[in-house]
A and B are shown apart, each in its own frame.
Chain A
Amino acid sequence: MTHPALPASAIRMSGVDKWFGKMQVLRGIDLTANKGEHLVLCGPSGSGKSTLIRCINALEEIQAGLIAVNGNPLGRKGANADHIRRDVGMVFQQFNLFPHLTVLQNCMLAPRRIHRISEAEARDKALHFLAQVHIAEHGHKYPAQLSGGQQQRVAIARALCMGPQIMLFDEPTSALDPEMVKEVLDTMIGLADQGITMICVTHEMGFARAVAHRVIFMDKGEIIESAAPTEFFGAPQQERTRAFLSQILNH
C-alpha cells in the first residue's frame, strides 16, 4: 500500500525497540531504505548498529515497532522470516563460511535447497558470482585454505547466489588483516554499482564517502544523525557525531 508517488522502500523500520534482557539496545528506531539506496551505519561499539541490521533479517527478535522488507512485514517470533531472508543477503564480520564444504559447495547449498535448482545450474550460478568477486579459480578449495580477504569475498558471492535485492554487511572488514581490507571493499563497491540495496555497518569512512547515499550515526541505541556523506563529514549537526568523527578521523 505504498503511495505511487513515493519510491518503493526496500526496508522500513518504525519505532523499533530491542532489549537484551533488561538492557535496551535499540530505542525507537525509524529508518527507511529506498530501493537501490546504500546506507552506511557507524557509531561507537555497543551503539546497536549490528543489532539493527540483524533485526532486518530476523536474526534478532524485536520487542516493539515494525519492520517491513519490500513491503512484507516481519511477524513476531520470526514469522515470515524465511520468506524475507530469501530477499536479504548477509555478510558477517567472521565470514561464517561452512568449513566442511568447498567454496563452490558453500555457494550452491542454499540455492539448491531453497530454489530447488539443478546441481549444474547452481554450479553455473556459483561460478558466475565467484568470478565476479575474482575468486572462481579457488572453487574447489575449502575455506580454511583461503586468506581472510578471500573468505570474505566467497561469503559475498555465497549471499549473491540467492539473488538478493538487499545486502546487509555487518562489519565485513573488521576481522581482516589491513592488506586485505581493500580487496573486500573493492568488491562491495562493485556491488554498489549494480543497484542492490545495501546497508553496511562499517568504520571505513573512505568507503562511506565513495558509496553511501546516506551515512547514519548511532549512539546508545538511537539514530543520532543521518545525512549524505558530504554533509555528514563536512558539517555534522550533532555534538555526538562530531565527537565520534574526531575520534576516528584524527589520525
Chain B
Amino acid sequence: MPLRLPKKKPKRWGEKALTLVVATISWSMLIVLVGVIGFLAYQGGKVLSWAFLTTPMREGMQAGGIAPPLVGSLWVSTLALLIGAILGTATGAYLSEFSPKGRLHRLIELLVNTLAGVPSIVYGLFGLALFVVALGLGASILSGALTLSLLSLPILIRNAQEAFAGVSADLKLTSLGMGASPAQTFWRITLRLAFPRLITGYVLAMGRLLGETAPILFTVAAYYLPTYPRSPFEPTMMLPYHLYALITSGTNITQTYPMAFGTALVLVSLTLILTIAAAILRFRLKKRLHV
C-alpha cells in the first residue's frame, strides 16, 4: 500500500490570523507615533522659524519666540546631566568594578531599581523640600538641576554598569597581570574602552531630561520671565512647563495654540533627535564590538 502524504501543507487559517493580529498591533504603534509627530510637525511647522527659536515671547505669550525657555531648558538639563553623569558613572564603576559582591552591593542594586520606579513628581516634592526650602536655594536653575540629576541617576548608573561590564575581561586581566593596580586599570583601560557606551547613555539621558515636566514645576520653572538667566541661582523658564502654561492658563487659548504647537514641535524634535542619535551610536558600537 503506497504511503499517502497530504497533498498540501495544512493552511492553518487560525494561526495565520493570530500572526496577522499581533503584526497589526505592533506596526500600529508606528502609525500612531507617526500620526502624533506628523500632526505636531504640520501644526508646529506653521510657526517654526529661526526667529521663533531666537527671540523672546511677546504680547503675553501670544506672539514672538521661545528663546528664553529653550535656553533655560538647555541650561538646566546640561547642568543636571553633568552632575548626574559624574555621580552615576562613579556609582556604576563602583558597582561593576570595585564593590565586593556582598550585602551592600545587593542593597545598592535594589535601591537603584527602586529609585527608577519612583514617580518623577515625587522627585519634584523632594527637590522642593530639600533644595528649594531646606537648603534655601529657592526656585533656581541649581535646585532644578540637582533634582533632575537625582532623577537621572538610575538610568545613568545602569548604563555605566553595563558599559564597564561590557569591556572585555581579558583586557582588564591582562592589565592587572602586567602589574597595573586596579585603579590604573580602570582609568587607563576600562574607562577608555567604555567611553563610547557611556556617551550613548548620556545622550539618551539628556533626551529624557529635556522632556521632564513634573520635577521642574516647583524647583525652577518660571511661568513668565522673558530674560536669559545669568547665574545658576536664578529661576528660568523651561520648554515643558512653557508648553503646559500655554495650553492651560492662557487667557485666550485659541491665540496661544500656534505657539503651543511650535513649542511642542521643538520639544519633541529635541528628544527625538537625541533618542535616535543614541540608538545609532549604540548600533554602530554593537557592530564594532562584534568584530
Same complex for A and B? Answer no
- The interface of chain B, by Cβ under 8 A from chain A, is none
- The interface of chain A, by Cβ under 8 A from chain B, is none
